[in-house]
């Protein structure tokens, strides 16, 4: 029988673990939930898009994605950090677009808000082109509400972490989705890799589309070639016979104009 003291009083290890979790939670709050963001979340809650944020699905340099619950089930809520660090690693064409959209680059909050609207707009365009992406529901300031991609309340993993039941079928499906993006939506993702494709029951969902670029842009072909190389390496490791050239051709890359290097 257990010692009553062990049941009533936490061990030192448990106390340390509790403090670690508290520090992580405080850090999460400090990084994401400033006053302006809380007001934006409150507005979206009042509009009925969700009722509560449950837990973080993923966090990164740009922001974090949280599972949310509401009257219509689960939602994915993406919150962009308000800070200059988000733009340190974006390509020059993104900076060009932001300058056109918001003017001077000094107002970081305005740039983040424009970036959030851009992701909502690109997702809407891709849905219209029948590309499998999360459905966007709403955005306000630096908060974007999207379809929750998952099953039984658990989020779908990124392709890099997923166990594919039929890699050849996933490869075929993925090239179909990217082909629609290129030839119907006339967009190139710009940063597509197994890290930003979710897989649910062997169905790929493209995500993180804010930096998508028009197929008419001089760098579009170069970026798609880079994406093709990423996936060719990934699928060859899974036994799928392909190459960067084959992937590039399968997704409609030959239709892109020959651009110039960055």
Q: Sorting pLDDT into bands at 50, 70 and 90, what band is 257?
A: confident
pLDDT of residue 68: 98
pLDDT: which is higher, 110 or 88: 110
The domain spans of the chain are 26-151, 156-255
Catalytic residue selected from 18, 166, 208, 245: 208
Report d(CA 229, CA 83) in Å as an integer. 32
pLDDT tens readout for residues 122-146 = 999 999 999 999 999 999 999 999 9
pLDDT tens readout for residues 195-213 = 999 999 999 999 999 999 9
pLDDT of residue 93: 79
Examine the pLDDT at 261 and tell me if it is beyond 50: no
| Top mean-pLDDT range of 62-76, 100-114, 124-138 | 124-138
Asked if 26-151 and 156-255 have one fold, the answer is no
Q: Sorting pLDDT into bands at 50, 70 and 90, what band is 53?
A: very high
Catalytic residue selected from 5, 152, 191, 245: 191
54 has catalytic annotation? no
pLDDT of residue 262: 36
Report d(CA 48, CA 44) in Å as an integer. 7
Report d(CA 190, CA 97) in Å as an integer. 14
Report d(CA 194, CA 235) in Å as an integer. 10
Q: Which residue has the tokens 């649910």?
A: 200
Q: Model's pTM, two decimal places?
A: 0.85
Q: Can you give the three-state secondary structure of 154-187, one letter per residue? A: EECCEHHHCCCCCHHHHHHHHHHHHHHHHHCCCE
CATH of 156-255, one of 3.90.550.10, 1.10.510.10, 3.30.360.10, 3.30.110.30: 1.10.510.10
Please identify, in words, the CATH class of the domain defined by 26-151: alpha beta
Q: Sorting pLDDT into bands at 50, 70 and 90, what band is 243?
A: very high
Q: Which residues pair with 76 in a beta bridge?
A: 67, 146
Q: What residues have CB less than 8 Å from 55, skipping those under 6 apart?
A: 66, 67
pLDDT tens readout for residues 142-197 = 999 999 999 999 999 999 999 999 999 999 999 999 999 999 999 999 999 999 99
């Amino acid at each position: 029988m257990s010692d009553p003291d062990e049941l009533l009083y936490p061990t030192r290890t448990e106390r340390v673990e509790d403090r670690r979790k508290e520090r992580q939670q405080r850090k999460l709050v400090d990084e994401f939930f400033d006053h302006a963001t809380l007001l934006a979340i409150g507005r979206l809650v009042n509009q009925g898009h969700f009722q509560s944020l449950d837990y973080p699905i993923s966090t990164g340099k740009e922001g974090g994605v949280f599972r949310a619950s509401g009257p219509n089930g689960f939602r994915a809520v993406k919150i962009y950090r308000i800070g200059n660090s988000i733009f340190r690693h974006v390509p020059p064409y993104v900076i060009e677009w932001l300058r056109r959209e918001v003017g001077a680059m000094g107002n970081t909050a305005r740039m983040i808000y424009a970036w959030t609207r851009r992701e909502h707009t690109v997702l809407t365009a891709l849905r219209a082109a029948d590309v499998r992406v999360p459905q966007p529901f709403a955005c306000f300031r630096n908060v974007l509400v999207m379809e929750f991609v998952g099953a039984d309340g658990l989020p779908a993993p990124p392709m890099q972490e997923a166990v594919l039941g039929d890699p050849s079928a996933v490869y075929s499906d993925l090239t179909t989705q990217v082909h629609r993006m290129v030839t119907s939506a006339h967009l190139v993702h710009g940063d597509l890799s197994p890290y930003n494709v979710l897989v649910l029951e062997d169905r790929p969902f493209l995500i993180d589309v804010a930096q998508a670029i028009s197929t008419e842009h001089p760098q579009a072909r170069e970026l798609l070639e880079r994406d093709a190389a990423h996936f060719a390496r990934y699928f060859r490791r899974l036994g799928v016979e392909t190459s960067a050239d084959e992937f590039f051709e399968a997704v409609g890359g030959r239709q892109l104009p020959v651009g110039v290097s960055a």
